[in-house]
Amino acid sequence: MAESTRSTNNRREAILHLISAEDISTQNDLRDRLVDMGFQVTQATISRDIKEMHLVKSVGPDGTYRYQVAKSREKYEISHKFYSIYRDSAVSVANALNQVVIHTYTGMAQAICATMDGLDWAGVLGTIAGDDTILVICRDEASASELAKKLREI
């Protein structure tokens, strides 16, 4: 019988929480922790989740391996969040010299800025967010012009 999307999503949220809070190094450790949380899962389900969630093993500072979200997956999720928040919240974009100013609905500038910072856009040196305004400092005028153009197209 097929598993419901809701239970899959709940289990995967639990997996993300577990791997961010604990050093989970094997599929058995992950399965055991999920069972402790009330999920009924098999090793095959865990293996499928790991693959579909793009989880990878990496070496921690102490030399032990642990599961974490692949950097490419993190970048995808940040990008998706940025575009979603930006489309719903940005009001206008203007650029002058090497700076881009983004006006947003009240209270949304910091959310946009936080996700934007995670994108590591070429030519962007840094951002500052107020309540409804974001200042983006670019490397040069060309970078600012290109960024403003991209943002207007979103």
Place of tokens 């402790």: 36
Whole-angstrom distance, CA of residue 118 vs CA of residue 8: 27
**High-pLDDT (> 90) share of the chain, %:** 51
Query: And the tokens for 9?
Result: 């999503």
Provide the whole-model pTM: 0.53
In the numeric block, the tokens 């921690």 are attached to 60
For the CA atoms of 83, 85, 87, 92, the dihedral, rounded to the nearest 10 degrees, stands at -110
Pair 15, 30: CB distance under 8 Å: yes
Same fold, 6-69 and 72-153: no
- Count of alpha carbons within 13 Å of 75, Cβ hemisphere only? 6
What class has domain 72-153? alpha beta
- In percent, the amount of the chain with pLDDT more than 70 equals 92
Query: Which pLDDT tens digit goes with each residue over 43-77?
Result: 999 999 888 888 888 877 677 888 887 765 555 56
User: Where along the chain do its domains lie?
Assistant: 6-69, 72-153
Q: Which residue has the tokens 């093993």?
A: 57
Label residue 35 by pLDDT band (50, 70, 90).
very high
Burial degree of 21 (CB within 10 A; 0-12, 13-18, 19+)? exposed
End-to-end Cα spacing for the chain: 41
**Cα atoms found within 13 Å of the Cα of residue 25, Cβ hemisphere only:** 7
- Burial (CB count within 10 angstroms: exposed 0-12, middle 13-18, buried 19+), residue 37: middle
Topology of domain 6-69 in CATH is Arc Repressor Mutant, subunit A (1.10.10)
